[in-house]
Every structure is written in C-alpha cells, then in structure tokens.
A and B are shown apart, each in its own frame.
Chain A
C-alpha cells in the first residue's frame, strides 16, 4: 500500500491526520507544501490542484484514492483498519 500526504505546517487537521497515521502504524510519504520552495513547490501545488481542483489540505492519497481533509472514517475504510 502506498500512502502519500500533502500537508501544510500550519494546519491543525494535517497534524491530526499525521498523528492518526502514525498511531495506526502506517508508513507514508509527506510533503509540507508551504515549507517547499522553487520548482519542487510548484510541482507539488500542480499535483494537489490536479488531484483535488483546489489547494486545501490535508490531501491524502491511498493507492490512488484521494481524501481531502482529515476524514478519519474514510481513511480507516481505505486503509482497512
């Protein structure tokens, strides 16, 4: 299972989502988009826009399924928890 998180360092829901993944023992890759710079940042923004149509966080991708916001029950469903 591949789990990717796009987050903002300032966002309480991003912190909660990451804490939930940590507590659930899920390995994931995280990008804190507001702390990125240059081309890396632009690429991350483009990816978030193309996945969600906006720039709202967190964005969590579980094997290609996109969840916007910290929707714990949806995450549990997709992670099989």
Chain B
C-alpha cells in the first residue's frame, strides 16, 4: 500500500526542501483564500517539520494529522494546504484542521487549538473565496467552495454569486461576458441576471448566494 501511495505522486518539491521554502510557497496561496500562517510560529514550524518528514517519505506534503489511505483521490484531498477541499468547515472553525493556517482576522491562533467542529447542519457559513482585488468591476470569475463551483460577478463594489452551471448545456457561466447585470453563457448565449439568477428561459433559473467583501476578501454564504 505504501509503495503504491508513493508511485502515484509526482514530486513537486526538490529534495532538501526546507520549512522556509514551504512557507514561501504556501503563504501567498492561502492569503488568496483568506488565511495566514498560525500566529504561534513555533507551532507552525512544528507542523511544517512534520510535513518535511512526510515529503521526504512520500514525495508530497500531506497533512500530518490526517491519514493517507493509499487511495489517490482521497489522499489528494489532504495535500497541504487542504483549505480548498474543506473551505466551509475551515471557515466555520476559523482555521485549517491542524491549525497550520488560521483565518486572516485571527489574532491569537493558540486560542483555536483543539477546535475541530463541523458546521451545524443547515446553518449557512460565510466562506472566503478569493481576494477582492482578483476580480475587477464588470467581470465574472469562477470560485469554489469544497467541490462546488460558483460564478462570482462584481458590479462596482457589489458582489453577486450564482450557480456556475447553465441549465441549458451545462456551460460555465463564469467564462461568459458580463453585460450590465447579465452574464451570458459562453456556449449558446443564454443570459442570467447575476442579482436574481433569473433567465428568460422557463424553469432554468440558477441559484443565488449572498456575496460580500470584507477586509479585501470576497465571501459567499453557503
């Protein structure tokens, strides 16, 4: 099982990769998702030292607090930073599972240790999806929460999130142009109002989700 686990990994880091190398790669990546390194730097370094040991043994930086099973798809979900696969849960916990990363507005990362709650069933969570600077006015981009994708539109300083999949032929709405309040599907031109999710075609509206910007990040409520 372990040799199988190693074979499917294409090594991304050179031998001799250090804790500082990992920080240099990970910190900008998680900043775009609304996270930063834990304020408890000694703890963060302890986690990263474990990840270096795992990297040397397996070829990639798996979470030291979750188990690799040898199933490639499952294991890909625990490659650090694993925030994209767990965005909703981590947004509710205000940290990632192991606590290497905390939400960017957390002042004392030590206080969050031991918190591993799942969000309450049925309760919506404000999930950071990208930086506000990553989307200009009158543009649409695709964002993800866990495995689901959304089209995020910006009109002035207002943000709107709708389901990304056109009801007609499953076109990705985020790839279409925004014309006023309407995004046009790049496949066949169906138009959806980003404020309401409505289209002129019967029974084909897409869902809308609350979206807003705070502290330079865009959140959607899902």
Q: Are B66 and A56 in contact (CB under 8 A)?
A: yes
Closest to B50 in A: A10
Q: Does B65 contact A (CB under 8 A)?
A: yes
Q: Are A56 and B113 in contact (CB under 8 A)?
A: no
Main secondary structure of the interface of B (DSSP, over half): loop
Instruction: Determine the interface band of chain B, counting residues with CB < 8 A from chain A.
Output: 20 to 34
Contact flag A55-B69 (CB < 8 Å), given A12-B46, A12-B64, A12-B98: yes
Q: What does the 1/0 interface line of A61-81 toward B look like (CB < 8 Å)?
A: 000000011111110000000
Contact flag A12-B97 (CB < 8 Å), given A71-B114, A71-B115: no
A10 to B47, CA, bound (A): 8
Closest to A10 in B: B64
Q: Are A12 and B114 in contact (CB under 8 A)?
A: no
Q: Are B113 and A11 in contact (CB under 8 A)?
A: no
Closest to B65 in A: A11
Residues in chain B near residue A69, CB distance under 8 A: 114-116
**What are 27 inter-chain pairs, A to B, with CB distance below 8 A?**
A8-B65, A10-B64, A10-B65, A11-B50, A11-B65, A12-B43, A12-B64, A12-B65, A12-B98, A13-B65, A13-B99, A13-B114, A33-B67, A34-B68, A41-B1, A45-B69, A55-B67, A56-B66, A56-B97, A57-B65, A57-B66, A68-B116, A69-B115, A70-B113, A70-B114, A71-B114, A71-B116
**Contact residues of B with A, CB < 8 Å?**
1, 43, 46-47, 50, 53-54, 64-69, 97-99, 113-116
